[in-house]
Each structure stands twice: as structure tokens, then as C-alpha cells.
Structure 1
Amino acid sequence: MEAKLSEVTMVAKSSAMGGGEDITMATSETIPKSGPVHPSGGTVYVTPYVAPAHGSVGLGERPEKFNGKDFKRWQQKMLFYLTTLNLARFLQEDAPDLGENPDWQTVAAVDAWKHSDFLCKNYIFNGLDNALYNVYSPMVNAKALWESLERKYKTEDAGSKKFVVSKFLDFKMVDSKTVISQVQEFQLILHDIHAKGMVLGESFQVAALIEKLPPTWKDFKNYLKHKRKEMKLEDLIVRLRIEEDNRQSEKKAGNYHQEAKANVVEQDVLPFYSGRLFVRRPLVPLRDE
């Protein structure tokens, strides 16, 4: 026997749902009120599958609301979250078919599957912000919802991959900034590339970083290119930091020598007080008295 409910309110208060936060899910689906009739004549009451509340799943592990950005990261977190609730399989399963003359076990299994799929779908809905919730709310099951999100946002991820690759190829260091600060920019680009699922070998990263050194580092660049022993990226960055420190020290020493020469020239002219301000006059040799 089944009862048509205009609204079914499910309030989850468990650590799996975030430590006591009430979550309400409303639907107009047909929810089985009692199980089918057993061949012996008795009524079989079916207890739908309910996701266990694992104590290890805390408030911080529930994914943040997805707002259309960083889909891959959100998807991985949501997949892990659903896995802890034993609901991840409903992202790939279609609804079982009852057939023409189903027996009571088949009907009971289908009812339990629908209930678990209902939970899975609404956990995903709860992970979307309001704007996206309104867009995807017509989805009939968890699999359709999951695949629709993938089609939409994985395509956008493919476009962002091309953007990151273009950014990597166009990156070139300039002399107006410190090399180490630009190395940090380069590392951020590498991080974005890896975050998009693209893998660059360390030898390639080292060679690319050497090639992108600024024009005034031409001699040092050639020196690094002709080194036979391969370097790790961390070792190369240390070498660049030492080289830049040496260059800055030499530059300061050069400025000091120039200032010293200027002071020698200045000492040839001594100031005297004219009554209102100091003026300078050339030195005159003292007369012999």
C-alpha cells in the first residue's frame, strides 16, 4: 500500500549531517507507507536503507556550497562525503526495473533503492548554493543530477586548462622585479597546472624555469644549461636565491665605492658661514708667514 504525500519532511540530526543542524528535504514523490503483501497473506513492512551516522565524519568534512567555481575540488569532497554515508553507488546506478509481475522481494528492494537514492540526491542538493539548486532541482535521481553537473562544469574545466597552459607558455621573467618573487609566481602556475590534472616532470620544470630567467641573467642561464648533473627544482631555486643575493651585495658594494669617490671630491670644497647660510668656497693654500 502506498500513500501520496504532498510533502515529506526529513530532519537529520547526526554528526554526519554536521553536528545537529536541521536539514529539511521536501518532495512530492510517492513514498511507500507499508510493504507489499506476502504470499502467505500477511503484510511485509519494509525498512528502507538509512545511511549510518559515522562518528568519524565531523562538521568540517561536509563540502562547502558549490557556487560554480572549482568544480573538481568540490566534486572530490562530495564524493568522499557520500562514500562515508554509503551512498556513493547511487551516483552510477539506474533505478531497478520492477518488471511485469514483480514478487514482493523485488518491490521491497525497489522501494529501498528509491529511498536511498532520494537521500543521495538531496545530500547533493544541500551542497549547492541557492542559484544552482533552482537550476538542478528538476533532476529525478542522483545519477542524473551528478552527470548533469559533470557535463556542465567539466567542460568549463577543459577551457580553464587551456588558459593555464597559455599562462605557463607566456610567462617570462623581467629585470624590474626580483627573480625570487617571479619564481614564486612560476610555482603558482605549476600548482594550477597540477590542480587541473596535468603532470609535468621535474626535469621539464627545471629546464623551463632556467629558460624563463630575465635577460640580465643570460650568462648564468647558459652556465646552468651546460651543467651535466640534473638538479631538482628545490635545488635550482636555492641556487637562484644565492646568485641573486650575491648580485645585490655586489651592487651595494659598487654604490658604496661611488659614494666614497663623491665624498673625496666634496672635501676639496669646504663650507663657511656667511651670516645667513653655509656656502662653499675652494680651498686656498696657506701663505707662509
Structure 2
Amino acid sequence: CRDYLLNYLSDRLAETYSKFKTAKEIWDNLDTQFRKEEELSTSHLVDKFLDFKFHEDMEITPQGTNLENMWSKMNNENSGVTDIFLVGAIIYKLPAAWHSFKTEMYRKKEQIGLDELKRYIRIEDENLARNNLELVK
């Protein structure tokens, strides 16, 4: 079983793990190594989430979907990120051209949910696109 595992590893990994005597030792060490890499990737995902910026020259709705996908991946990793945090982060990260929209969202007395925010953003995105189209004409 040990040789079987080593045979399926890349040459570099096989050389590294050939010092272990049993298949269980190889398996446990591989498991430990790659779990550490998964933890790093979650940290990297948090960095990407915090660094995310909306671009004014692109539609906001698809960009919001990208941010939501990052959040979903973090949430799958049991990071404890809540919908309230995500809604606040999305509003905060909207571009400067969306200042009045951001102000309107901050003034709401009741907390809005993610689906409601997405609906508001989609409507605002369509209105801005329509206004830009009318300006071009």
C-alpha cells in the first residue's frame, strides 16, 4: 500500500515522502500538509474579499455576484461571516458614483437582507445604465 501511494505522487513528493515507513504515515503527513494549504487559501480569500473594489466602468450587479461568491466560499469554510456583515461590506465598497445610493441604504431604519440589497442594486444599476444611454443620445 505504501508503494502504491508513492507511485501516484509526483516525483518530488514521492522523494520527500519515501522516508516514511508505512502508508499511514505518508497519508497522515500528506493530509496535514494539504490541510494547512486549505487554511492558507481561506486566509487568502479573506484578503481578496477585503481588498475587493467595485469598478465604476463595469456593471455593478455582476461584480456584486463575485463578492457574494467569495462570501459563500468563506461561509462554507465556517468563517462566521454573517449576512449583515456582507450587506454592509457591499454597500461600503460601492464606487463613488453610487454615493447617493449608499447614503439611502445607510439611512434605512431596518436592516435589509442580502436578497433585498441585490434587488435594489439591480434596479439602481439598470437606472444608471438607462441614464447613461440617454446621455449618449
Alignment of 1:96-245 (within 5 A): 125=5, 128-131=8-11, 132-245=13-126
Distance in structure 1 (CA, Å) of the matches to 2:31 and 2:2: 25
Q: CA deviation at 1:218?
A: 0.5
Aligned CA-pair RMSD: 2.6
Residue 280 of structure 1 is matched in structure 2 by none
Amino acid aligned to 1:199: G
Distance in structure 1 (CA, Å) of the matches to 2:7 and 2:63: 37
User: In 1, are the aligned partners of 2:20 and 2:26 still within 8 Å (CA)?
Assistant: yes
User: In 2, are the aligned partners of 1:174 and 1:215 still within 8 Å (CA)?
Assistant: no
3-state secondary structure, aligned to 1:224: helix
Distance in structure 2 (CA, Å) of the matches to 1:203 and 1:144: 44
User: In 2, are the aligned partners of 1:165 and 1:193 still within 8 Å (CA)?
Assistant: yes
Unaligned runs of 5+ in 1: 1-24, 28-121, 257-289
3-state secondary structure, aligned to 1:173: coil
Which one of 250, 253, 267 corresponds to residue 134 of structure 2? 253
Amino acid aligned to 2:73: D
Amino acid aligned to 2:97: T
Distance in structure 1 (CA, Å) of the matches to 2:24 and 2:74: 29
Alignment of 1:53-72 (within 5 A): none
Amino acid aligned to 1:150: D
CA deviations over 1:53-75 (Å, ceiling 9, x no partner):
xxxxxxxxxxxxxxxxxxxxxxx
User: In 2, are the aligned partners of 1:211 and 1:221 still within 8 Å (CA)?
Assistant: yes
CA deviations over 1:35-58 (Å, ceiling 9, x no partner):
xxxxxxxxxxxxxxxxxxxxxxxx
User: In 2, are the aligned partners of 1:180 and 1:240 still within 8 Å (CA)?
Assistant: yes
Q: What TM-score results when the alignment is normalised by the length of structure 1?
A: 0.41
Assess, with a 3 A threshold, how the Cα gap between structure 1 residues 145 and 169 changes in structure 2: closer, same or farther. Answer: same
Count of residue pairs the alignment pairs up: 136
CA deviations over 1:13-44 (Å, ceiling 9, x no partner):
xxxxxxxxxxxx686xxxxxxxxxxxxxxxxx
Q: CA deviation at 1:126?
A: 8.0
Amino acid aligned to 1:194: N
Assess, with a 3 A threshold, how the Cα gap between structure 1 residues 139 and 190 changes in structure 2: closer, same or farther. Answer: same
Runs of 4 or more above 4 Å deviation:
none
Distance in structure 2 (CA, Å) of the matches to 1:127 and 1:238: 53
Structure ranking higher on relative contact order (CA contacts 8 Å, 6+ apart): 2
Amino acid aligned to 1:157: E
Q: What TM-score results when the alignment is normalised by the length of structure 2?
A: 0.80
Where is the helix percentage greater, Structure 1 or Structure 2? 2
Where is the strand percentage greater, Structure 1 or Structure 2? 1
Q: CA deviation at 1:220?
A: 0.4
Q: CA deviation at 1:219?
A: 0.6
Distance in structure 2 (CA, Å) of the matches to 1:188 and 1:156: 20
Amino acid aligned to 1:175: E
